[in-house]
Amino acid sequence: MIQEYAATLGVKVEVIRFALCLFAAFPISALYNFIPSNQIQIKHLYSIITSGIITCVVFSTSSFLQLAVQVLLIYYTNVFFAKYKFGPLLGFGIALAHMSWIHAEAQIWRENDPTFVDYSAMMMVLLIKMSSFSYCVHDGTRKESELDSYQKEYRIINMPSLIEFMGYSFFFNGYWVGPAIEFRHYQRFINQEGEYKNIPSTVGPMLKALVLGLVMIVLETVVGKHYHFALTTSEFFFEKTLFQKLLYINIAGLFVRAKFHSVWKISEASALVSGVGYAVTNGKERFDAAENVDVYAVEFAENPKMAMDGWNKYTANWLRRYVYVRVRQSWLKLPLTFFISAFWHGFYPGYYLSFLWSVPLMQAGRAVRKHLRPVFIQGTLAPYKKVYDAIGFFATLFSLNFLYMPFILRTMSSSFEIWKSMYFIGILLPIVVQVSLTTFGLGKFIRRAFIPLDKKTQ
């Protein structure tokens, strides 16, 4: 039925499936609020049953059963091996292997099979939950002096019951497209601990997120068909001048991202209906506890770090807390983190091209912040700080659109062909900036020249 409906509308069947799941989360979240606060077990069961039914109806019974088997396997892996150093790696590895199998089916073996039901997005969210849970349980067995502040806050000292763990795994808010919240976040919410004892009205923030999500759908649907990275493989693109090509990919990038913005904002809105999107930090109320994307931060970033910090925030936090921080070799931290990020998405060569080339982009961004930014803050060029910010905005926008174009195109050949038509400018510029400021010492020279001696900070 879903396939027939998708064919009638002329859209991909995956779009219909996830639209049904995303909007079903609103009544599910609303009904959850009627469960008595002391019926904790009922709350867990409610998540398991509602997510299970929708997965079976919209996707397939097989997909839900496979996810359930993995959840059981991860749970008992932590029961028996959490205290060992290899325990969290074992849990991480099991989830990663399962997800890789699903990606291989969706992207290689059965990519063109119309009967195949792709549920990899749910598995990607579940991987984050399973791996972070495994590390948090292991952190609960370690000495407090060995943990940082984040690990202390989210460590799990007492192993939860199986029903509680399954309730977390299949929690309806974020189950399909994220965000993948930490287990302790879920536990505080379900048990109504701390700020969750009295959740204020979330109608305003919910409507704001929902409207923004719907606006993004309209933009992507109406305008996105005219500006899309997929069109860069046609003669229409190659006939353009270099300036026109650069302008086109920057416009297209906005509407390509609009699709992701819309999905995450709608998911965020449903999380505000249940209240899990509410939080209090340092006595200040927040309604962004389930925010997976900060649209303003991404689209108006002044450097690559700001853009990446605002994009897919919960996944970025997972990569930082459970990959980057856990890698002991400093030289391996950044490359391995980007590699795992690409691997998390799947096996298309374009993913790896985008994420691995993010390494020199981030390094160039760090070099600029270290050597040039101080000149415009405490140096003699401070009056031109707005000019620096404007250049940073355009440079960041162009760099990200250039480097992440292969992520959408997916193939190595088409990506290189388009990059070549633009003289690899988006790759060469970050490398030139990095080498000039650090290797050749231009950064130190600029700081000496433009920062007064009494204001210098090394």
Paired tokens of 253: 């990038």
202-213 pLDDT per residue, tens: 999 999 999 999
Q: CB of 270 within 8 A of CB of 177?
A: no
Alpha-carbon gap, residue 346 to 349, rounded angstroms: 9
Return the residue matching tokens 């980007």: 338
**Nearest alpha-carbon partner for 291 in 261, 257, 321, 319:** 261
**pLDDT score recorded for residue 1:** 63
Q: Give pLDDT tens digits for 339-391.
A: 898 899 999 999 999 888 888 888 898 999 999 999 999 888 999 999 999 99
Indicate if the alpha-carbon torsion angle 346, 348, 352, 355 is positive or negative. Answer: negative
Which region among 1-5, 200-204, 409-413, 442-446 has the lowest average model confidence (pLDDT)?
A: 1-5
Min mean pLDDT across 10-19, 28-37, 239-248 is at: 10-19
Query: What are 390-416's pLDDT values in tens digits?
Result: 999 999 999 889 988 999 999 999 999
229 contacts: CB under 8 Å, gap ≥ 6: 249, 252, 253, 256, 405, 408, 409
SS3 284: strand
pTM of the complete model? 0.91
Residue recorded with tokens 């204020």: 200
Tell me what pLDDT residue 31 has.
Answer: 97
- What percent of the chain is predicted at pLDDT more than 70? 96
Per-residue pLDDT band for 39 (boundaries 50, 70, 90) equals very high
Does the pLDDT value for residue 8 go beyond 80? no
pLDDT tier at 3 (50, 70, 90 boundaries)? low
Q: What pLDDT score was predicted for residue 48?
A: 98
Residues above pLDDT 90, as percent of the chain: 73
Structure tokens at 285: 């109320």
Look at residue 228 and tell me whether its pLDDT is greater than 90: no
CA 51 to chain centre: 21
Question: One-letter amino acid identity for 448?
Answer: R
Q: Quick one: average pLDDT of 284-300?
A: 94
Please tell me the predicted confidence (pLDDT) of residue 141.
96
Is the Cα dihedral 178, 179, 181, 185 positive or negative? negative
Q: What is the mean pLDDT of the chain?
A: 91
**For the segment 119-152, what is each residue's pLDDT rounded down to a tens digit?**
999 999 999 999 999 999 999 999 999 999 999 9
Grade residue 114 by pLDDT with cuts at 50, 70 and 90: confident
Burial class (CB in 10 A: 0-12, 13-18, 19+), 458: exposed
Residue 169 parent element (H or E): helix 162-169
The token pair at 448 is 């000496």
Q: What is the pLDDT of residue 458?
A: 46
